[in-house]
């Protein structure tokens, strides 16, 4: 198994390919990608044996912006008999039993791409999971309960008779089926955008720190807040929010007593005097370079300690644009001698945009 499969939103395969080439090269691993537009995944084949496994361990999933999942896979199994798909899959796993300790496996994911076309395969994947799991367990695999540091098995179907067979390390993968967290839209939220911030909080803030960093004693500014989906997520955690937008905020948010609506320009707005702002969030639809400069200004001036914002990417060279924006912010913060954490992800609820998180340490 010397390939990786990386899942992504359909249409972002080129970004995934550019990113995996750049980041694996930085780790001294060389290979090439196979990209099919709008397929929802990319295959990266390493030149040297064992290097796909090395990447699965050392290239941290959080460092990959556009990939949702990182899995070591076999060559594509094709024309597998429809009356017995299990035997060739078991054979494939038994080939790797010497290199991977399958006794450490915890979980099975039978998956497909996140595309309209592949959706038809989802029902099959769900049904097939049970008999395949039973067969794997009969080999004494999937019996480990080391969910933190164990190994997950993935079978990725491209058609009903074609699949990749592989594995991921639990310590370095997305724990979600197909790499997608399933979030329920809260009916009382004023807009669907609310799910973007909810997913961002889930992705960037460890669960055990969430209430420490977002609570009744924290203050936030939300730039481009209307109608209030992001403000809703903050207010629901007790945070007091200055909601900056010329538009109208949902009445339900005013009723919480946790917001002040500021009908102002988000690029000119400054934090209220004598009020320490902890968080800046920003979902304004603007050029990424302008948003990056604005975020830098807030952090360099010490106007906030932590931020989550979107970079909208309607242009062709999306990966390049993202790199330039992240470099610009990082350089500005470095120049000020600030130490910080920066993470960026193309979240499931993001469309033509990515979400960035920065925390000043
Ligand atoms: C994508 S919507 C934000 C949705 C919001 N995050 C939510 O969850 O409901 C973008 C908002 O940015 C606001 N906006 C755009 N440019 C702005 C500016 N210069 N100053 C303040 N708000 C701005 C728009 O009025 C719009 O309401």
Q: Once rounded to an integer, what is the mean pLDDT over residues 33-55? A: 97
pLDDT at 266 over 90: yes
What helix, strand, coil percent values describe the chain, rounded to 5? Answer: 35, 25, 40
Residues placed in the known binding site for S-adenosyl-L-methionine = 193, 226-229, 245, 265, 283
CA of 243 to the centre of ligand 1 (A): 10
Q: What is the full DSSP assignment across 241-259?
A: EEEE-SSPPPHHHHTTT-E
Query: What are the tens digits of pLDDT across the range 9-39?
Result: 999 999 999 999 999 999 999 999 999 999 9
CA of 269 to the centre of ligand 1 (A): 13
pLDDT at 1 over 90: no
pLDDT at 277 over 90: yes
pLDDT at 117 over 90: no
Joined tokens for residue 35 = 């990209």
Which residues carry out catalysis?
312
Q: How is the chain split into domains, by residue range?
A: 3-179, 194-360
Q: Once rounded to an integer, what is the mean pLDDT over residues 136-165? A: 97
Residue 255 buriedness (CB in 10 A; 0-12 / 13-18 / 19+): exposed
Query: What are the tens digits of pLDDT across the range 295-321?
Result: 999 999 999 999 999 999 999 999 999
Omega before 227 within 30 of 0, i.e. cis: yes
**With respect to CATH, is domain 194-360 assigned 3.40.50.150?**
yes
Share of the chain above pLDDT 70, in %: 100
Q: Alpha-carbon Rg of the chain, whole angstroms?
A: 22
Residue 171 exposure: Cα atoms within 13 Å on the Cβ side: 9
- Three-state DSSP at 170 gives helix
So what's the pLDDT on residue 119? Answer: 84
Diameter over CA atoms, the chain: 71
pLDDT at 275 over 90: no
Residues placed in the known binding site = 193, 226-229, 245, 265, 283
Joined tokens for residue 52 = 């796909």
- Three-state DSSP at 126 gives helix
Q: 187-205 in b/e burial notation, b at 16+ Cβ within 10 A? A: eebbbebbbbbbbbbebbb
From 226, 233, 269, mutation site for ligand 1 pocket: most ligand atoms within 8 A of C-beta: 226
So what's the pLDDT on residue 343? Answer: 98
CATH class (in words) of the domain with range 3-179: alpha beta
Q: Once rounded to an integer, what is the mean pLDDT over residues 227-243? A: 98
- Strand ranges (DSSP E) for the chain? 3-7, 31-35, 41-46, 69-73, 105-111, 151-159, 162-169, 219-223, 240-244, 259-262, 279-282, 306-312, 340-345, 353-360
Ligand 1 neighbours (beta carbon < 6 A): 190-191, 193-194, 224-230, 244-247, 265-267, 283-285
CA of 229 to the centre of ligand 1 (A): 11
CA of 266 to the centre of ligand 1 (A): 8
Which atom of ligand 1 sits closest to the CA of residue 197?
Answer: 8
Atom 7 of ligand 1: nearest residue by CA position: 229
Query: What are the tens digits of pLDDT across the range 69-94?
Result: 999 999 999 999 999 999 999 999 99
d(CA 127, CA 119): 14
Query: What are the tens digits of pLDDT across the range 175-217?
Result: 999 999 999 999 999 999 999 999 999 999 999 999 999 999 9
Q: Once rounded to an integer, what is the mean pLDDT over residues 230-257? A: 97
CB 44 within 8 A of CB 7: no
């Amino acid at each position: 198994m010397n390939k990786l499969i990386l899942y992504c939103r359909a249409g972002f395969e080129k970004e995934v390919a550019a990113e995996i080439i750049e980041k694996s090269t930085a780790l001294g691993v060389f290979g090439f990608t196979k990209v099919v537009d709008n397929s929802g995944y990319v295959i990266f084949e390493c030149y040297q044996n064992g290097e796909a496994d090395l990447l699965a361990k050392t290239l941290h999933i959080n460092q990959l912006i556009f990939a949702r999942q990182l899995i070591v896979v076999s060559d594509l199994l094709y024309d597998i008999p429809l009356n017995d798909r299990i035997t060739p899959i078991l054979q494939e796993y038994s080939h790797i039993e010497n290199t991977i300790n399958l006794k450490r496996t915890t979980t099975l994911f039978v998956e497909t791409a996140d595309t309209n076309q592949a959706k038809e395969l989802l029902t099959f994947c769900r049904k097939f999971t049970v008999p395949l799991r039973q067969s794997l367990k009969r080999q004494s695999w999937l019996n480990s309960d080391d969910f933190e540091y164990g190994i997950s098995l993935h079978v990725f179907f491209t058609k009903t008779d074609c699949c990749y067979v592989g594995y991921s390390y639990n310590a370095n993968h997305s724990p979600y089926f197909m790499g997608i967290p399933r979030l329920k839209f809260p009916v009382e939220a004023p807009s669907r955008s609310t799910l973007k911030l909810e997913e961002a909080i889930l992705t960037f803030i460890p669960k055990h720190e969430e209430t420490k960093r977002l609570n009744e004693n924290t203050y936030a500014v939300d730039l481009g807040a209307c109608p209030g989906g992001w403000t809703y997520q903050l207010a629901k955690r007790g945070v007091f929010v200055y909601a900056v937008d010329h538009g109208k905020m949902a009445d339900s948010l005013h009723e919480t007593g946790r917001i002040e609506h500021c009908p102002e320009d988000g690029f000119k707005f400054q934090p209220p005097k004598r009020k320490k702002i902890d968080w800046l969030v920003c979902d304004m639809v603007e050029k990424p370079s302008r948003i990056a400069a604005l975020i830098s200004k807030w952090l360099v001036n010490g106007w906030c300690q932590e931020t989550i914002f979107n970079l909208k990417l309607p242009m062709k060279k999306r990966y390049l644009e993202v790199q330039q924006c992240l470099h610009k912010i990082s350089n500005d913060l470095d120049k000020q001698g600030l130490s910080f954490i920066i993470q960026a992800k193309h979240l499931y609820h993001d469309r033509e945009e990515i979400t960035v998180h920065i925390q000043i340490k």
